[in-house]
């Protein structure tokens, strides 16, 4: 029976330090990463992304829980016995070896015959378009080239899983965009499962098949980019992925009531009393004041973002809502500060989330 | 870099003091080297240049055997000391921090702190009892003594290089299927090599140069070059000793220059 999970973490705990000064870098994390998928771990600094990656690579042993690779328990296997390779944030290329020697290192350590090592190294050099630099020392390469060598080196032994710890964070914006496309291409061509770490939500959304959002050592939500963006499970995920409006509200039959008195229909509500309504800026529409369910508002600020214009609106009770409007071709949205307008939420888009 | 608010060169008398210090450091050496080429030995009288003293020293059997002995001791001692120093450096940098680490560090560097004469006397007494017990009179004592006091000199450059090394390189090697031993052989050791060579060269020079401990530990007829020279000087000043000194000087300068290039940060 083949196991569909490339990596499975079960109730993994990792604590650093002892006694009262102990830090739980990972607090009961369970996740299934499927074969051949581009899985991204996303979260703010210090949330435990690197720690989870290091546990999968074997550089660190968990304080509790189990890690499986294609169904086999590898929790306490040393890193050199795991068919898993890592692209380090600092690249960690061997300075005393040439580009080609760096790439063949893993194959040689696996004891592959010389002819196979050579053939595979050449193939990898071609894959990352570094054939011309095979003989160079790694210190003579640019950041983007070092990145490619690090990728080729980690891919050469054909690992079951490739781990990438913020591999693009040291690159400038343009190169970063190029490498994002490059990474997707490499993943597609090799079919290897990628586990990618980033704290850049845009990168996570554009590149991944699925995203795991982490905060304070806990996995908050796992889902496709679309799922986590449109159906965040809690306020942390909603605010970390993209921009969103939070409005104080109270539960009433059939929906919630905002501070200004407007009632918004929300499905599946339980409980009562004070809560918070979440609505994405692009789900806020400016409408005619006469339209049903229109809420009066005042324009307080306009910020131009090229294709979009962010319109800051004040509701009658002072609550602030941001609406994202598509900029017309001449760039003018035809609004002015202080102007009285009316807004509406796209039906079904507003949500009430757990804290 | 931002402009410095304090510059030593603005202190009164800076230039004078600096010149005086360099004069005191180098003029005697210059005179020594110059005299090794002088036809007659006199610091004030020049009546021509000659290489005779070098030839004489070269042909002197006592000098030959002392030189050979010095080289054998320095080579053996630097190899042993460098091996121990490499192990010590790995032991103090490639593991979790532990209690008493500073104490270990101080103990490894003991020869830098304990006055040489104290070590010399201690070794004399210690080795004397071994000589009595075993009857062994060979060069082993000198090699052991030299190895011991050369360890810190080998240790410091090796440790500096290990500390400057990116730890993620070893992690990367392990990630790429290298066993701990292969990681050491294929990654740690090659990157460490310049530090090891530098340490060995420093140890070699230090051993070659030693007088105090050698003088105390050596048995009869075990003169090294420095102790032979000292014995000669007790009788008379000869340009022959100057010639030997000059050769030692050149050798040391060459080795230390190589050391400097090996330990430069940007390689
Ligand atoms: N070796 C360690 N010893 C002690 N604490 C550690 C160690 N490694 C990580 N931590 C702690 O564990 C927590 C998670 O660290 P981790 O490096 O996994 O975060 P991260 O999500 O990768 O952050 P970043 O985005 O900044 O890289 C942090 O609070 C960190 O201080
Ligand atoms: Mg990290």
Q: What is the mean pLDDT of residues A121-140?
A: 90
Residues B156 and B27 in one domain: no
**A335 vs A245, more confident:** A245
| pLDDT of A149 strictly over 70 | yes
Predicted confidence (pLDDT) per residue in A191-216, tens digit: 999 999 998 888 999 899 999 999 99
**What residues does A218 pair with on adjacent strands?**
A215
Give the model's pLDDT for residue B1. Answer: 46
Question: A 100-129 residues with CB below 8 A of B?
Answer: 105-106, 109-110
Nearest CA in chain B to A137: B267
Domain boundary among B50, B71, B95: B50
Residues B96 and B192 in one domain: yes
Residues B99 and B201 in one domain: yes
Residues B199 and B247 in one domain: yes
Q: Is A94 on the interface with B (CB under 8 A)?
A: yes
Residues B33 and B139 in one domain: no
Residue nearest to atom 17 of ligand 1 (CA): A50
Q: What is the mean pLDDT of residues B18-40?
A: 85
Q: Which of A75, A74, A76, A70 is nearest to A32 (CA)?
A: A70
Size of chain A, expressed as the number of residues it contains: 355
Residue B6 domain flag: no
- Angstrom CA distances, A19 to A64, A114, B98, stand at 16, 51, 18
Residue B117 domain flag: yes
Residues B46 and B97 in one domain: no
Residues B77 and B33 in one domain: no
Q: What is the mean pLDDT of residues B191-206?
A: 92
Task: Report which DSSP code applies to B186.
Answer: I
Q: What is the ipTM of this complex?
A: 0.81
Domain count for chain B, please give it.
2
CA of A41, nearest ligand number: 1
| pLDDT of B2 strictly over 60 | no
Residues B109 and B236 in one domain: yes
Give the model's pLDDT for residue A3. Answer: 67
Predicted confidence (pLDDT) per residue in A11-37, tens digit: 999 998 887 778 889 999 999 999 999
Predicted confidence (pLDDT) per residue in A226-267, tens digit: 999 988 888 899 988 888 999 888 888 878 888 888 888 887
**What residues does A297 pair with on adjacent strands?**
A341
Residues B170 and B72 in one domain: yes
Predicted confidence (pLDDT) per residue in A286-298, tens digit: 888 888 888 889 9
Question: How, if at all, do strands A38-42 and A210-215 pair?
Answer: parallel
How far apart are alpha carbons B25 and B43 in whole angstroms? 18
Residue B33 domain flag: yes
Residues B225 and B160 in one domain: yes
Report CA(A203)–ligand 2 centroid distance (Å): 16
Q: Report the percentage of chain A scoring pLDDT > 70.
A: 99
Contact criterion met (CB < 8 Å) for B190 and A96: yes
Question: How, if at all, do strands A23-34 and A161-165 pair?
Answer: unpaired
**A1 vs A98, more confident:** A98
Residue B8 domain flag: no
How far apart are alpha carbons A296 and A293 in whole angstroms? 10
Residues B196 and B228 in one domain: yes
Which of A21, A22, A25 has the most ligand 1 atoms within 8 A of CB, as the residue to mutate? A25
Residues B210 and B92 in one domain: yes
Report whether A93 contacts A86 (CB < 8 A): no
- Which residues in chain B are contacts of A58 at CB distance < 8 A? 174
The most confident of the ranges A68-72, A173-177, B43-47 is A68-72
- E strands present in A43-83: 64-69, 72-73
Report CA(A31)–ligand 2 centroid distance (Å): 18
Q: Residue B190: which domain range? A: 62-263
Indicate yes or no: pTM above 0.95: no
Residue B194 domain flag: yes
The whole-chain average pLDDT of chain B stands at: 86
How far apart, in Å, do the first and last CA atoms of chain B sit?
Answer: 23
Confidence of residue B166 (pLDDT cuts 50, 70, 90): confident
Report whether A13 contacts A61 (CB < 8 A): no
Q: What is the mean pLDDT of residues B38-65?
A: 75
Contact criterion met (CB < 8 Å) for B178 and A86: no
Q: Is B266 on the interface with A (CB under 8 A)?
A: no
Give the model's pLDDT for residue B74. Answer: 95
| pLDDT of B47 strictly over 70 | no
Residue B205 domain flag: yes
Give the model's pLDDT for residue A1. Answer: 47
């Amino acid at each position: 029976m083949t196991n569909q999970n490339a990596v499975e973490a079960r109730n993994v705990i990792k604590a650093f330090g002892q006694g009262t000064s102990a830090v739980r870098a990972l607090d009961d994390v369970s996740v299934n990463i499927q074969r051949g998928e581009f899985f991204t771990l996303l979260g703010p600094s210090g949330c435990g992304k690197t720690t989870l990656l290091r546990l999968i690579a074997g550089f660190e042993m968990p304080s509790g829980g189990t890690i499986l690779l294609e169904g086999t328990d590898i929790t306490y296997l040393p890193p050199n016995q795991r068919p898993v390779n890592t692209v380090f944030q600092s690249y960690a290329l061997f300075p005393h070896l040439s580009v080609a020697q760096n790439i063949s290192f893993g194959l040689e350590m696996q004891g592959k015959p010389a002819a196979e090592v050579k053939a595979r190294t050449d193939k990898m050099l071609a894959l990352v378009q570094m054939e011309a630099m095979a003989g160079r020392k790694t210190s003579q390469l640019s950041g983007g080239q070092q990145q490619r060598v690090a990728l080729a080196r980690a891919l050469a032994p054909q690992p079951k899983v490739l781990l990438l710890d913020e591999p693009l964070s040291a690159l400038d914006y343009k190169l970063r965009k190029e490498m994002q496309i490059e990474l997707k291409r490499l993943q597609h061509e090799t079919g290897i499962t990628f586990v990618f770490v980033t704290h850049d939500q845009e990168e996570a959304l554009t590149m991944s098949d699925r995203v795991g959002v982490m905060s304070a050592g806990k996995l908050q939500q796992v889902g496709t980019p679309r799922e986590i963006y449109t159906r965040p499970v809690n306020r942390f995920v909603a605010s970390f992925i993209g921009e969103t409006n939070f409005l104080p509200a109270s539960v009433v039959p059939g929906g919630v009531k905002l501070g200004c008195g407007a009632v918004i229909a929300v499905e599946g509500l339980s409980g009562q009393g004070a809560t918070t309504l979440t609505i994405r800026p692009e789900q806020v529409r400016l409408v005619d004041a006469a339209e049903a369910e229109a809420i009066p508002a005042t324009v307080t600020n306009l910020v131009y973002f090229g294709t979009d214009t962010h319109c800051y609106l004040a509701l009658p009770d002072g609550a602030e809502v941001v609406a994202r409007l598509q900029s017309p071709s001449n760039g003018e949205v035809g609004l002015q500060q202080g102007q009285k307008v009316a807004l509406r939420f796209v039906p079904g888009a507003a949500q009430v989330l757990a804290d | 870099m931002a402009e410095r608010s304090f510059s030593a060169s603005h202190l009164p008398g800076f230039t004078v003091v600096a010149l005086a210090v360099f004069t005191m450091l180098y003029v005697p050496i210059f005179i020594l080297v110059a005299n090794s080429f002088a036809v007659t030995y006199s610091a004030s009288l020049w009546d021509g240049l000659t290489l005779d003293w070098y030839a004489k020293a070269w042909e002197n059997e006592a000098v030959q055997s002392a030189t050979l002995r010095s080289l054998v001791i320095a080579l053996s001692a630097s190899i042993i000391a460098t091996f121990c120093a490499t192990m010590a450096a790995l032991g103090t940098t490639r593991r979790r921090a532990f209690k008493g680490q500073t104490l270990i560090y101080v103990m490894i560097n003991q020869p830098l702190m304990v006055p040489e004469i104290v070590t010399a006397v201690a070794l004399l007494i210690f080795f004397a009892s071994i000589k009595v017990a075993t009857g062994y009179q060979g060069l082993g004592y000198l090699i052991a003594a030299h190895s011991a006091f050369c360890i810190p000199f080998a240790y410091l450059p090796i440790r500096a290089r290990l500390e400057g090394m990116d730890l993620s390189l070893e992690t990367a090697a392990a990630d790429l299927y290298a066993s701990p031993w292969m990681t050491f052989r294929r990654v740690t050791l090659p990157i460490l090599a310049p530090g090891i060579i530098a340490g060995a060269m420093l140890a070699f020079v230090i051993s070659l140069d030693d007088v105090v401990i050698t003088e105390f530990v050596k048995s009869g007829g075990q003169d090294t070059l420095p102790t032979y020279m000292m014995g000669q000087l007790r009788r008379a000043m000869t340009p022959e000793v100057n010639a030997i000194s000059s050769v030692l000087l050149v050798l040391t300068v060459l080795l230390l220059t190589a050391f400097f290039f090996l330990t430069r940060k940007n390689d």
